[in-house]
Structure 1
Amino acid sequence: MIENSYYSQEVHGPYELHDIGNLELEEGGTIRGCKLAVATFGSLNAAKDNAILIPTWYSGTSKIMEQVYIGKGRALDPDKYFIIAINQIGSGLSTSPHNTPAPGGMGNFPRVRIGDDVRAQHKLVTETFGLDSLALVVGGSMGAQQTYEWAVRYPDMVKRAAPIAGTAKNTVHDFLFTETLVDAITADPGFAGGFYKSSEDVREGLLRHAKMWAVMGWSTEFFQQQRYKALGFSSLDDFIINFMNAYFAVMDPNDLLCMAWKWQRGDVSRHTGGDLRAALGRIRALTFVMPMSSDMFFPVADCQAEWRLIPNAEFRPIETIDGHLALFGADPNALAQIDRHLTELLAREA
């Protein structure tokens, strides 16, 4: 267990910690006293039918969801909806390797799957908020993986689903690329098998990890058109050092690895003996599948192939050259498209 001031109320708040008790994991481990960091916006109505759940993506927290996607007059409007943003296990705010006491923390933290997150979230929203339905589950990237897991695991509870820039079953290519992100961190001698004294000990690994994210997270067109200049950076070096490196260098390596492991293995067909068609056929939610047009992690074709297996689903690709990281909200046109699709989805009878 180590201190890291990045994972704090000052940086990511306000949020509340909810202890859901012991969480037995699919891989056989147990998280004792599992805590979920939760940010809520708006109020639950008397019918309890206006709740929206937002799970977080790799490296992201409820704060970026609040800053980029939630607001008055937006699709995710707290004046209309009770919005619950839950930080995934390993995010650094919820129970994570760096904030778990010895002996179960740091390099000994157990393997967590997407399904474990969703079971934990289900326990929270049913027992703490008394919900038996969700008007919408929406998330990007790993949040999309959790959205699919919600829709397949709890089909009667999820009325609408909006997976953005993510798939229901991870691909071999994406698994391999994520493995290179893992290797970038673990190959740093300062990683010390996951028992470093400070994230600063793994600085070189975190910087390699950040540069690899720059390669795949954006798009060829993003760099060809020097989009980073429109974002306020004077050169490619300026962008890498003062955005990509600055973003990842403060994070905890073990926390990133915890999330990467479950990202690699996201797969709703675990519910149906490996039959993806059968798994996605369980979904009863009105579903809008929304890939980013230039995404290299979760390409349009991969998302489209899954969309064809989902009953009552529509395919709504988001046009952008910002790649996967259009999720960060730097492309206002992409945000406008997402808002428009979510507004339409929420207006549909479910």
Structure 2
Amino acid sequence: MTINTYYGPEGHGPYELYDIGTLDLEEGGAIPNCQLAVATHGTLNAAKDNAILVPTWYSGTSKIIEQVYIGTGRALDPAKYFIVVVNQIGNGLSTSPHNASGDQSGPRFPRVRIGDDVRAQHKLLTERFGINSLALVVGGSMGAQQTYEWAVRYPDMVKRAAPIAGTARNTEHDFLFTETLVDAITTDPGFKDGNYGSSAEVAAGLKRHAKMWTVMGWSTEFFRAGRHRALGFDSMQAFVDNFMTGYFAPMDPNDLLAMAWKWQRGDVSRNTGGDLPAALGRIKAKTFVMPISHDMFFPPADCQAEQALIPGSEFRPVASIDGHLALFGTDPEFLAQVDTHLRALLAISD
């Protein structure tokens, strides 16, 4: 176990930790006493049919979901819905490499897949909250991967699904790019095969990782328009050093690597022997597929090809030159579009 003060309720709360017991893993082995960090907003109604699940993305926690997407008058309105935000395994708040103990700590943390997260969330919702119907599952990026997995794995439970800026099966291009994020960290001599003493020892690798995110996370139009200035930075160097590197620098490298491995291998067709049309054909939820127009991780064309395989689904792209990282709430027009689409989806009867 590594002490890292970045993770905790001071910066990422409020949330509660739920022990769901032993989680058997698709890759073999298990996580004993698996802890899920969960933030809830609103009240579960008597019928227990107003629940919305929001899984988290790479590096993100429940706090940014709360700050950017949840609020009175928003589509995700806690006055109407019981909104459950579950931090994915490996993100630093739920069970993760840096907070695991014994033979699962640090680089010895077991391989976790998207399907493992979803089964853990299902156990939490059904056993701890008594929820057997979800009005909506919505998530961005890795949250979209989990959204697809939910809709395929539990088609009768998920009434509506909104995968934002993510795919049901990761592409070879995205796999390769994520590998460069991994390499940025692991090639730092301070990484020591994952046996570093603190994130500060891997500062150079985390900075390279942040630069790669800067290049691909935004878009060429973002740079051409000088959007970094609109975000309060007078130079691109200041943007990279203070915003991007400042964001990733305190994070635990092994936590990031655990999520990256999972991200690379997201694939709902694992449920159907590799048959993607069969997997997406299982979906009963009313589904809005919502790519971001200038996303270089999950381009709209990749998302639309999958949407065509989902019965009764709609293709609802969201425009923003901020690219993938529009998810962070940097573009008010993006957020307004997301709310419009989610309101329309939630208005559709079961």
Q: 1:236 aligns to what?
A: 236
Q: 1:86 aligns to what?
A: 86
Which aligned pairs between 1:173-322 and structure 2 lie closer than 5 A? 173-322=173-322
- Give the counterpart letter for 1:235 in structure 2: S
Which aligned pairs between 1:140-159 and structure 2 lie closer than 5 A? 140-159=140-159
Structure 2 CA distance, aligned partners of 1:323 and 1:104?
36
Tell me the CA shift for residue 206 of structure 1: 0.4
Which aligned pairs between 1:333-348 and structure 2 lie closer than 5 A? 333-348=333-348
Which aligned pairs between 1:9-20 and structure 2 lie closer than 5 A? 9-20=9-20
Structure 2 CA distance, aligned partners of 1:29 and 1:60?
26
- Give the counterpart letter for 1:25 in structure 2: L
Q: 2:108 aligns to what?
A: 108
Q: Which runs of 4+ in 1 moved over 4 A?
A: none
Which aligned pairs between 1:114-153 and structure 2 lie closer than 5 A? 114-153=114-153
Task: After superposition, give the CA deviation of every residue in 1:271-308 in whole Å (9 maximum; x if it has no partner).
Answer: 11111000000000000000000000000000000000
Is 1:48 the equivalent of 2:48? yes
- Give the counterpart letter for 1:113 in structure 2: R
Structure 2 CA distance, aligned partners of 1:220 and 1:102?
45
Task: After superposition, give the CA deviation of every residue in 1:163-204 in whole Å (9 maximum; x if it has no partner).
Answer: 000000000000000000001000011111111111111110
SS in 1 for 2:102: coil
Q: 1:328 aligns to what?
A: 328
Structure 2 CA distance, aligned partners of 1:215 and 1:232?
18
Tell me the CA shift for residue 231 of structure 1: 0.7
Task: After superposition, give the CA deviation of every residue in 1:280-337 in whole Å (9 maximum; x if it has no partner).
Answer: 0000000000000000000000000000000010000001100000000110000000
Structure 1 CA distance, aligned partners of 2:111 and 2:29?
7
Task: After superposition, give the CA deviation of every residue in 1:200-226 in whole Å (9 maximum; x if it has no partner).
Answer: 111100000000000000000000110
Q: 2:167 aligns to what?
A: 167
- Give the counterpart letter for 1:144 in structure 2: A
SS in 1 for 2:104: coil
Matched residue pairs, number? 350
Structure 1 CA distance, aligned partners of 2:328 and 2:109?
28
Tell me the CA shift for residue 102 of structure 1: 2.1
Instruction: Give the TM-score taking structure 2 as reference length.
Output: 1.00
- Give the counterpart letter for 1:135 in structure 2: A
Structure 2 CA distance, aligned partners of 1:241 and 1:197?
23
- Give the counterpart letter for 1:298 in structure 2: F
- Give the counterpart letter for 1:152 in structure 2: V
- Superposition CA RMSD, Å: 0.4
- Give the counterpart letter for 1:119 in structure 2: R
SS in 2 for 1:103: helix
Structure 1 CA distance, aligned partners of 2:201 and 2:89?
23
Runs (5+) with no aligned partner, structure 1: none
Instruction: Give the TM-score taking structure 1 as reference length.
Output: 1.00
Q: 1:57 aligns to what?
A: 57
Structure 2 CA distance, aligned partners of 1:7 and 1:345?
34
